[in-house]
Amino acid sequence: MAVAVTDAAPTFELAVPCEVFGLDRADIVDPWYELRLCAGEPGPLRTAAGLGVPTPYGLDDLVEADTVIVAACARPAQLAPPPGLLAAVRKAHESGRRIVSICSGVYILAAAGLLSGRRATTHWMSAADFAHRFPDVDLDPTALYVEDGSILTSAGTGSAIDLCLHLVRRDHGAAVANEVARRMVVPPHREGGQTQYARLPARPRAGGSGGLAPVLQWARERLHEPLTVAGLAAAAHMSERTFARRFRDELGITPLQWVLQERVRLAQELLETTDDPVESVARRTGFGTAPNLRHHFRRLTSVSPQTYRQVFRSRAVSRSVPPGALPTAPWE
């Protein structure tokens, strides 16, 4: 993992890949990632908060990395990206490297010509400006992160965590990503998109329930059971219409879409961490039958349950993980 650092980079967005990929997590997966901070322009480089950033690696190292991460950048770098960094990002892409941007780092990818005709996202506050400057990019200002082939982009600030955990999930499976999230004390996956953060807060409702968290947890514990909007609304002590509207307002998706996503995520974990046949996984996740599980699993992940299990179980058995690191992991 190589992170391109430019001067006055926002501190948090730069720190997230260092936290996720830069710490030694060999007790979870060995080998873990090797993180390299690469100078995207001549130094010395500092964050927006004035913290010095040692960058012992350069643009040649950036090009050779398996994954190139362009961290968020200050406005001057957005408007006039360092030419050397643009050339390095293009070369890395042409060499088949995975390219990732965090928040305003998407300006660098667009200026390098990597996003023409592709779907991407950025911080909702920058969406109008970015769309004006790069009309050839299919900008989705509602997404927390977007994956379009080998190029991934994230929205602002906290969504850097979402995207970095997604990369861990892609590389090592849901069980490993979940363990990293637990250690960071963050959710392994957040539902909904930026809309829930970009809009003005709704006026408090009289007698409000304090959010949907209790009913979401209630539903997660009952994914193997039939779940309907009527049942969820009753558990939340709301009418169906009010519940459905509030659910979409807060999470950006419908209740049944959320249930489907949670069931597929549970299926991923069971496929990684148990030897249960697909038929049993289908029953335990509420899909009922193996064909129904296969249909929805492939639609959301692009692969079959059998392929998913083969990929991540074969990776798991080749790792050396001390007992106790992941209590339910199949390689213990």
Band of the pLDDT at 308, cuts 50, 70, 90? Answer: confident
Q: Which backbone phi and psi does 153 adopt, to 5 degrees?
A: -130, 150
pLDDT digits (tens, 9 = 90+) for 236-289: 999 999 999 999 888 778 999 999 989 998 998 898 888 999 999 999 999 999
Q: 124, 118 in Cβ contact below 8 A?
A: no
Token pair in block for residue 261: 């996503």
Band of the pLDDT at 323, cuts 50, 70, 90? Answer: very low
pLDDT value at 51 more than 80? yes
Can you give the length of the chain in residues? 332
Residue that wins the pLDDT comparison between 211 and 132: 132
pLDDT digits (tens, 9 = 90+) for 209-246: 347 889 999 999 999 999 999 999 999 999 999 999 99
Q: What's the average model confidence in pLDDT over 189-217?
A: 56
**Hey, what domains does the chain have and what are their CATH numbers?**
2-184 (3.40.50.880), 202-325 (1.10.10.60)
Q: What is the pLDDT of residue 309?
A: 85
The DSSP code for 319 is S
pLDDT value at 101 more than 80? yes
Dump the DSSP string for 63-101.
HHSSEEEE----HHHHHS--HHHHHHHHHHHHTT-EEEE
Band of the pLDDT at 148, cuts 50, 70, 90? Answer: very high
Dump the DSSP string for 247-290.
HHHHHSS-HHHHHHHHHHHHHHHHHHH----HHHHHHHTT--SH
Q: What's the average model confidence in pLDDT over 40-53?
A: 94
- Average pLDDT score over the chain: 87
Q: What is the pLDDT of residue 67?
A: 98
Q: What's the average model confidence in pLDDT over 149-162?
A: 94
Gap between the Cα atoms of 283 and 276, Å rounded: 11
Band of the pLDDT at 88, cuts 50, 70, 90? Answer: very high
3-state percent helix, strand, coil for the chain, nearest multiple of 5: 50, 10, 40
Percent of the chain at pLDDT > 70 equals 88
Q: What's the average model confidence in pLDDT over 304-321?
A: 67
Query: Which class for 3: exposed (0-12), middle (13-18), buried (19 or more C-beta within 10 A)?
Result: buried
117 in helix, strand or coil? coil
Contacts of 307 (CB under 8 A, 6+ apart): none
Q: What is the pLDDT of residue 320?
A: 40
Q: What's the average model confidence in pLDDT over 24-35?
A: 94
Find the largest Cα–Cα distance for the chain: 60
Q: What's the average model confidence in pLDDT over 134-159?
A: 93
Q: What is the pLDDT of residue 329?
A: 31
pLDDT value at 330 more than 90? no
pLDDT value at 316 more than 80? no
Band of the pLDDT at 194, cuts 50, 70, 90? Answer: low
Band of the pLDDT at 174, cuts 50, 70, 90? Answer: confident
Query: Which of 108, 100, 103 lies closest to 2 in space, CA to CA?
Result: 100
Q: What is the pLDDT of residue 322?
A: 40
Q: What is the pLDDT of residue 63?
A: 97
Contacts of 288 (CB under 8 A, 6+ apart): 282
Residue that wins the pLDDT comparison between 330 and 86: 86
Token pair in block for residue 13: 């967005």
Q: What is the pLDDT of residue 56?
A: 94
